[in-house]
Amino acid sequence: MRIFGKVRHRPSASWRQATDRAFTLIGDGRYEDAGALLTRAADLEPWLSESWFNLALLHKFRHDWEQARAAGLRAVALLDKETGAPDWWNVGIAATALQDWPLARRSWQAYGLKVPGAAAANGEPVGMELGSAAVRLSPEGEAEVVWGRRLDPARIEVLSIPLPSSGRRWGEVVLHDGVPHGERTTTAGPSYPVFDEIELWAPSPVPTWVVLLEAATEADRDALERLASDAGFAAEDWSSSVRLLCRSCSESRMPSAEGEGEHLDPHDHSEPGHPGPLGHRTAGDMWSPERECGIAAPAGLVRGLLDGWVADSPDSREWRDLEEVC
């Protein structure tokens, strides 16, 4: 086969050696050394799309989006097939990071995704309706999996209230990778992919608070979550929603905490029935009135929300120790 007048051939042994060594270095976090080897490989085989795909991948790991876009475009120019190549997905991620919306749209279409004709005033694709997914925040650190809404194939809006250790807030938009690492299933049956965060794409101005509640029943706790949601913000009972999982469990197919009744699985490394940030959802007869709750709301509103919640049922509700944590 000829590409631009050149005969395409299998990569040389030197190309394979340099590439294999480069990916070993990438695994060790030695990006500079890996970059030198991948650049050498591209010099050896400039007509091979994999040469530029690998460089684009390296630049993605380094969050060097200009270089990732440039290398990615060289890779797709040498592709044999028209749709479905992962090269286009990497170009789409780089274009999204750079807010190069015409290229992002072109990339998703070239990959084979349907992109509606509608666009925001700045050209940003809207209305792709990709549904819900989970995203693993800080995957290389104290990783935390939270729920969100997919805006497009490379961005998720965070709808859970992350723990303060993640450094993330409710309502933030994160750029994420294309290959899921794990799934979360629900009692209703559907499963949702878990994507790894690459970086923060759009920050949220809404701070995160932690507060200790005295909620006599689950209905009392639920009332606060509804009250916050009705105000356009969020509250989340961390005593019920947070589980500790090892990395292997987190990256596997795991049941979520959503659903009714007791949910105890052998992969849950927290203590069922124990309130606090390490506890998991328990059956009603094990309900503990003391709950640790995360709230995402402006400083001028959060105390009013809590006071209004108590005022609706003062005999069964109290709050104390409100603190801004992120």
Tens-digit pLDDT profile for residues 14-70: 999 999 999 999 999 999 999 999 999 999 999 999 999 999 999 999 999 999 999
Q: Which of 299, 132, 303, 326 is nearest to 224 (CA)?
A: 303
| CATH match for 13-111 among 3.60.20.10, 1.25.40.10, 3.40.190.10, 2.160.10.10 | 1.25.40.10
- Evaluate if residue 307 carries a pLDDT over 90: yes
Q: Residue 128 is encoded by which pair of tokens?
A: 């792709």
CA atoms 92, 94, 95, 96: torsion sign:
positive
At 299 the three-state DSSP class reads helix
Among residues 137, 164, 198, which one has the least CA distance to residue 324? 164
d(CA 91, CA 126): 18
Chain segment 198-256, per-residue pLDDT in tens: 999 999 999 999 999 999 999 999 999 999 999 999 999 998 876 554 444 445 444 55
Predicted pLDDT of residue 255: 56
Q: Where in the chain is CATH 1.25.40.10?
A: 13-111
List 196's β-bridge partners, or say none.
136
What is the spatial distance between Cα 158 and Cα 150, in angstroms, rounded to a whole number? 9
The conformation of residue 164, written as its DSSP 8-state character, comes to G
Could you tell me the CA-to-CA distances from 265 to 111, 262, 281 in Å, in that order?
38, 10, 11
Which of 168, 167, 127, 124 lies closest to 149, judged by CA? 127
What's the rounded Cα separation, in Å, for the pair 277 and 163?
A: 9
User: Do 284 and 293 meet the contact criterion of CB atoms below 8 Å apart?
Assistant: no
- Mean pLDDT (the chain) is 84
What single DSSP character describes residue 295? Answer: E
User: Per-residue pLDDT for 268 more than 60?
Assistant: no
pLDDT digits (tens, 9 = 90+) for 90-121: 999 999 999 999 999 999 999 999 888 766 76
The secondary structure element, H or E, covering residue 21 is helix 13-27
State the DSSP string of 240-261.
HH-----HHHHTSEEE-S-SSS
By the 8 A CB rule, do 231 and 288 touch? no
